[in-house]
Chains A and B, each alone.
Chain A
Amino acid sequence: MDAKEIAAQLARELHYLDMPIGVYVVATDGQFIACNRLVRDMLALPLDGDVHASLAQFYADANTRGELLRKAAEAEARGSFLQKEIIHLRVAARDLYVEDYCKPLRDPATRAIVGYIGCLVDITIEYEAQKREGQLQNKVEELTFDIGRILHANTSTLLMAQQTLDSVAEALSQRALKEVIGTPLEDLDEQLIKEAEQLAGTLDKLIQGSDASRRAQALPEAKWDALATKIAPLRQVREMVPGFEMRVPALRTAAHQVTVTCHAMTTGALPRELVKEVLRAAAQLENTACLADVLMSRMAIVQMDATLRSLRDFVTADIRTHEPKKRLSVKLLVEQTITQMAEFARTSRVDIHRKERDFDVGVEGIERDVTRALANLLHNAIKYSWRRDRYKSPWVTVRAFARDGIACIEFENWGVPIAQEEIDNGLIFQLGYRGKWSKDRGRLGTGIGLTDAKRTAEANRGSLHVASRPANPGWVRPDDRDYYNQPFITTVTFCLPESAEVRR
């Protein structure tokens, strides 16, 4: 019995050509003996009548056929058949991917292979989507790896820059770094204003204390005009140059210009002591302004460093070796978080007040993720704190407590508000979203902190709660333009279910 007779018999007995799947019978050389409408449609063959074509002519790669026959033989030897074999076909210059289910047809008498019978399922759409997804996944992995590496390199550079700035701050202030970074910026601002006034005084004295002809010998008139123009802004710098951040560079530039101009004076034309006094006052002002600039840059670097580390940790979370969940001590988690943020708090001149120091319960979670989430929350609390009074540094309160089997770690700060609608509609938890009032430019942020903390809490069967209310309720009406310009108390609470044992 040949394949044609077997096919005819099967068609007669099983009506397999009516099946809602592509069905075919081919001879040993791949020539079609029979195939149903679905296969004809798939391979762009005539929909009726005999088929004068071979399956082999559709393989995209000529070696495919040999490979398939070998696999079919192996499957038969195992008492099985070829299944879900993905074959790449090319039909009229179009790529087609099919799943093939196939077995040899044997002559019942001789057991010789007389052909093959099988089914084809067109999976082109799914296959291409899967391929695209795979490519995309690879790209994401490469990119993640790359971002991780770049961020790592950047944090190293930031560390170097911070160390350099530390040395410069010590050199300029002639004091230990710890003391310098503890100086409130307001004090430095007052010092700058005082020194600006002194420089104005010495300049005035130089101009008043020398006659016009000697002045003309020392410098061209335009230069004297430029020096004289500086006196009023130096005296009224508090009013004329708004804000510490702008006063610093403005005074530094002015002091430097005065120094350069004085050095250009013809020697001996003016009283030496008067010129020296101006130079001394200008050098002092430039020095203090540089110190203030260094401290501000240092603060920005420390802040950026914490943000980059947290971003790197967040981005590379999926490609790190999976860490198992552990029982964690809340007390230790709070301690680790505070230690991680200590430098940032010191540089930002914010104190961390820890309440209920001895409180401890156990929670379950991935240590690295939970610590990162808590560090992000503390970082935010520090970053968004305002100074409450002249003599006391701003502070953040960290509390740990348990309620109804839920362990909570709470961060409370006094300062930048979060608008109620941003909490109500969940905007603050959207990746990349930064609060309406959080964006004054000194505060660098990525909009990842709250999103990550919420995800981490929820991944560990916990939750995150945010509340922000005016520090002095009733002072400003909610519909007042200045409502969000007043200080708010913001509380962010990270909650996880208590676990029985505490890790020690």
Chain B
Amino acid sequence: MNKRPSVLWIEDSARFELRNLVGPLFFSGKYDFSLAEDVTSALYQLRVKEYDSVIVDIRLPPGIDPEWRKHYQQTGFDKVHAQLGLKLLYWMLSKDASIHPDAPPEWIKPCRVGVFTVESRGEIQQHLDTLGIKIFRQKSAGLRDTTLLELIDEILAQAQAENPAPL
């Protein structure tokens, strides 16, 4: 039996307003699914396991890591302005050590990453271009329950196309 693709969703609303999106995911039986609800947990999970697909929210709480808390504190304890998800992406993909002293795992590539956030594409397009991220979805009211599934499939297809090794 083929190994199921592993997916990490970095999102603090997964158990709340976005909970309808995870039902189809668990019951599709297609993925090995993990959730990180803050940046500290995300960092931990990214370092202990390699994921085929990583979906990142932009407005994230810091968790307990003092380095992330420092970034959060600098913006007045406000996750909307702190945009820690964006900082996490720069740490992951641009290897920006000024964001966090730990080195990001080598396996992370832009083709495995998608952004799922409330910001519009226009607001963060420049960052997406800089980071080389092509897959983006905006959160809005009335999202279909299958939105997350579709997003994961899109990332996996992109990763497969860019790196034809079997997942």
Residues of chain A touching chain B, judged by Cβ–Cβ distance below 8 Å, are 229-230, 232-234, 240-243, 245-246, 248-254, 257, 432-434, 436, 439, 441-442, 481, 484
Instruction: Tell me the nearest residue of chain A to B73, going by C-beta.
Output: A427
Interface secondary structure of B, over-half rule: loop
A253-B15 contact in complex given A229-B27, A233-B26, A433-B77, C-beta closer than 8 Å: no
The answer on a CB contact under 8 Å between A249 and B35 is no
**Which of the 9-residue segments B17-25, B50-58, B125-133, B159-167 touches chain A?**
B17-25
Most chain B beta carbons < 10 A, residue from A240, A249, A439: A249
In the complex, whether B103 has a CB less than 8 A from a CB of chain A is no
30 A-B pairs with CB atoms under 8 Å apart are A229-B27, A229-B29, A232-B29, A234-B27, A241-B26, A243-B15, A245-B15, A246-B15, A246-B22, A248-B19, A249-B23, A250-B22, A250-B23, A250-B26, A252-B23, A253-B20, A253-B23, A253-B27, A254-B23, A254-B27, A433-B77, A439-B61, A441-B12, A441-B15, A441-B16, A441-B37, A442-B15, A442-B16, A481-B64, A484-B64
The CA of A240 and the CA of B61, in the complex, are separated in Å by 25
For residue A252, give the distance in angstroms from its CB to the closest CB of chain B.
Answer: 7
The CA of A250 and the CA of B145, in the complex, are separated in Å by 10
The CA of A277 and the CA of B70, in the complex, are separated in Å by 56
The CA of A234 and the CA of B145, in the complex, are separated in Å by 19
For residue B53, give the distance in angstroms from its CB to the closest CB of chain A.
Answer: 18
Contacts of A248 in B (CB 8 A): 19
What 3 A-B pairs have minimum CB-CB distances, sorted nearest first? A253-B23, A250-B23, A245-B15
Contacts of B23 in A (CB 8 A): 249-254
The answer on a CB contact under 8 Å between B27 and A233 is yes
In the complex, whether B14 has a CB less than 8 A from a CB of chain A is yes
For residue A224, give the distance in angstroms from its CB to the closest CB of chain B.
Answer: 14
The CA of A69 and the CA of B135, in the complex, are separated in Å by 75
For residue B17, give the distance in angstroms from its CB to the closest CB of chain A.
Answer: 9
> Apart from A245-B15, A439-B61, what 20 extra A-B contacts exist at CB < 8 Å?
A229-B28, A229-B29, A232-B29, A233-B27, A233-B29, A242-B35, A243-B15, A246-B26, A249-B19, A249-B22, A249-B23, A251-B23, A253-B24, A253-B145, A254-B27, A257-B27, A434-B77, A441-B12, A441-B15, A441-B37
In the complex, whether B13 has a CB less than 8 A from a CB of chain A is yes
The answer on a CB contact under 8 Å between B22 and A441 is no
B residues contacting the other copy or chain, number (CB 8 A): 22
The CA of A250 and the CA of B33, in the complex, are separated in Å by 13
For residue B135, give the distance in angstroms from its CB to the closest CB of chain A.
Answer: 24
Contacts of B15 in A (CB 8 A): 243, 245-246, 441-442
Instruction: Tell me the nearest residue of chain A to B34, going by C-beta.
Output: A242
- B31-42 interface code vs A (CB 8 A; 1 in, 0 out): 000010100000
The CA of A251 and the CA of B26, in the complex, are separated in Å by 9
The CA of A257 and the CA of B24, in the complex, are separated in Å by 9
For residue B32, give the distance in angstroms from its CB to the closest CB of chain A.
Answer: 10
The CA of A234 and the CA of B125, in the complex, are separated in Å by 40
For residue B60, give the distance in angstroms from its CB to the closest CB of chain A.
Answer: 11
For residue B142, give the distance in angstroms from its CB to the closest CB of chain A.
Answer: 16
Contacts of B22 in A (CB 8 A): 241, 246, 249-250
For residue A431, give the distance in angstroms from its CB to the closest CB of chain B.
Answer: 11
The CA of A229 and the CA of B35, in the complex, are separated in Å by 21
For residue B13, give the distance in angstroms from its CB to the closest CB of chain A.
Answer: 7
Instruction: Tell me the nearest residue of chain B to A243, going by C-beta.
Output: B15
Contacts of A254 in B (CB 8 A): 23, 27
For residue B73, give the distance in angstroms from its CB to the closest CB of chain A.
Answer: 9
Contacts of A243 in B (CB 8 A): 15
For residue B92, give the distance in angstroms from its CB to the closest CB of chain A.
Answer: 23
The CA of A254 and the CA of B20, in the complex, are separated in Å by 11
For residue B145, give the distance in angstroms from its CB to the closest CB of chain A.
Answer: 6
Contacts of A253 in B (CB 8 A): 20, 23-24, 27, 145
Choose among A230, A442, A484 the residue that contacts B27 (Cβ–Cβ < 8 A). A230
Choose among A240, A242, A249, A433 the residue that contacts B20 (Cβ–Cβ < 8 A). A249
The answer on a CB contact under 8 Å between A246 and B14 is yes
The CA of A230 and the CA of B35, in the complex, are separated in Å by 20
